Copies of this chain bind each other. A is one copy, B any other.
Amino acid sequence: MALGEFELIRTFFERSAGPRRALLGIGDDCALIRPGTGQSIAISTDMLVEGRHFFADVDPAALGHKALAVNLSDLAAMGARPLGFTLAMALPQVDERWLTAFSSGLFALADAHDCELIGGDTTRGPLNLCITVFGEVPPDAALRRDGARAGDDLWVSGTLGAPAWAVACRLQTEAFPMAGVDNPDAGSSADSNAGAPATPPHAALAAARLRLERPQPRVALGLALRSVASAAIDLSDGLVGDLGHVLTRSAAAGGAPLGAHIDWPSVPVDTALDHLYDSQRIALALAGGDDYELLFCAPAPARPVLAMLSRSLGLTLTRIGTVTGESGVQLLDAHGDRIDFHAAAFDHFR
């Protein structure tokens, strides 16, 4: 492989531009962008590391999709419209087939959201992808984390838990002995468990893997929530942990304690998890992470608007609970009784 750094950029990442979002794109010391009148620039950065955020054998097209998707998800959670992004990457070697697939996955999602690659950096090193994404939003309309108030409804988009289950199956952890689904002839550990659900169907696992590898950032929802939601966050570290960020910041902003009740029967657990124990479904849906759905708060009068919005976007929006004026998050069953659970947010250093 004699492909050099600058040729690599030209071959895989410079594109003959159509209409451009940036005043100046790839190829100078800096890119230049300018927000529209009355708009501010929303910025988020995410670093993806092999072995932590993706498996070494991941489909590079899916990786290109996901590296940008997790960043677009942050824009969505802010109610910002995508403008552009920078891509910094360390590569162990120049593998043209890998780069072709990676950039195709990356640009397919970028084009779907009219988000232009405006700059970057490439170097040799252990595989590492760092995308910084830019959007625009009027500063007063931004969906911050700190606007939740006691009495607000708690909402979530889409379904929860499938990506975390796909990871658990892949890691073949003791709590999720689903390795057998890859090989229908192999004995299922779950089957040998008294009272355990049957071996999950392959279709469920395939669907869960798709959710893990191809998360769909809820950009259109974020834009629509600008005038509706009091607070929003995207679900990357697990529902309970991410809800905790919203409650902590909102309580600090409002000067009064906040907590939440979550109505477990209403939580939209992905149907791929139907065959699991309830304790497993709770753990995956509340603490699994990698969902990239939006969790948001809105006052009760917004319910009809949100029902209409759900229909117009073709995206399930589910009311899962209430923000309360007492610290702590409680999970309630169909009778309103507390369910004990342990759900810690994913932390890269614990």
Contacts and interface: CB of A to CB of B under 8 A. Distances in A.
Interface of A: 1-6, 8, 23-24, 27-35, 39-47, 49-53, 74-75, 77-78, 80, 86-91, 94, 118-126, 128, 130, 132, 134-135, 137, 139, 142-146, 232-234, 249, 347-350
B349 A3 contact: yes
A43 B52 contact: no
B52 A40 contact: no
Contacts of A234: 29
Q: Which 3 A-B pairs have the closest CB atoms?
A: A49-B125, A130-B130, A30-B42
A347 to B, nearest CB: 5
Determine how many copies of this chain the complex contains.
2
Which of A3, A6, A32, A44 has the most CB atoms of chain B within a 10 A radius of its CB? A32
Nearest to A38: B34
Nearest to A144: B28
A232 to B, nearest CB: 8
B122 A89 contact: no
9 contacts: A4-B350, A5-B348, A24-B142, A29-B145, A32-B42, A43-B132, A47-B90, A49-B124, A49-B126
A248 B75 CA distance: 36
Given A47-B128, A121-B45, A349 B8 contact: yes
A50 B45 CA distance: 20
A233 B29 contact: yes
A14 B49 CA distance: 23
B123 A45 contact: no
A347 B7 CA distance: 10
Given A30-B74, A249-B27, A348 B44 contact: no
A126 B145 CA distance: 31
Contacts of A41: 32-35, 41, 134
Contact of A5 (B4, B135, B349): B349
A45 B88 contact: yes
A118 B185 CA distance: 53
Given A1-B349, A28-B144, A47-B125, 17 more contacts: A5-B347, A23-B40, A24-B139, A24-B144, A29-B75, A29-B143, A29-B234, A30-B43, A30-B74, A31-B43, A41-B41, A43-B132, A45-B87, A46-B121, A51-B125, A52-B125, A53-B123
